Amino acid sequence: MALREIRIQGDPVLNKVCRPVETLTPRLQELIDDMLDTMYEAQGVGLAAPQVGVLRRIVVIDVGEGPIVMINPEILETAGEQHGMEGCLSVPGKAAEVTRPNYVKAKALNENMEEFIIEGEELLARAICHELDHLDGHMYTEIAEGPLQDVEYDEEE
């Protein structure tokens, strides 16, 4: 387990389409562990593999209810709409208004390469949409409504 460097907007790796995972090798298992560590260290609610420079369809999410690992995720259904501020670890210190579905149903493989279905509302729905966009090379800044705003961080305790 180790921290990985988070790539910042402007790095071309963030605009590429990621390849599906066919076999979960020890190397990719280590990647997932590192992505979780890196996400928690950065106090993010999600991280996609391209954000640490790996073009594979893997995301990790934790909206405060425990870690979710999604391999080869696909959105199956969406419903409703939510409006709110969104940020990204690859765009540090910034946030902007983004409209997302309020409900998302998705499927993915877990760390044992078993398929599971996940349903999320509000922040979880937003996080799933945001992270899956990364796998196709898209950033929230492309769909932001209005300018990016500076975010104030709490001082470190």
131 is catalytic: yes
Told to check if 104 binds Ni ion by CB under 5 A, we report no
Task: Indicate the residue among 18 and 88 with the shorter CB distance to Ni ion.
Answer: 88
φ, ψ of residue 12 to 5 degrees: the values are: -60, -20
Name the residue with the smallest CB distance to Ni ion: 88
Nearest approach in angstroms of CB 70 to Ni ion is 14
Told to check if 59 binds Ni ion by CB under 5 A, we report no
Sheet of 82-86, strand order: 82-86, 94-100, 145-150
Tokens 């493989």 correspond to: 109
What's the CA gap between 69 and 61, in Å, rounded? 7
In whole angstroms, what separates CA 82 from the centre of its chain? Answer: 18
Interaction pattern, residues 78-97, with Ni ion; x per rule: CB under 5 A: ----------x---------
Residues marked active site are found at 131
Which stretches of the chain bind Ni ion, using CB under 5 A? 88
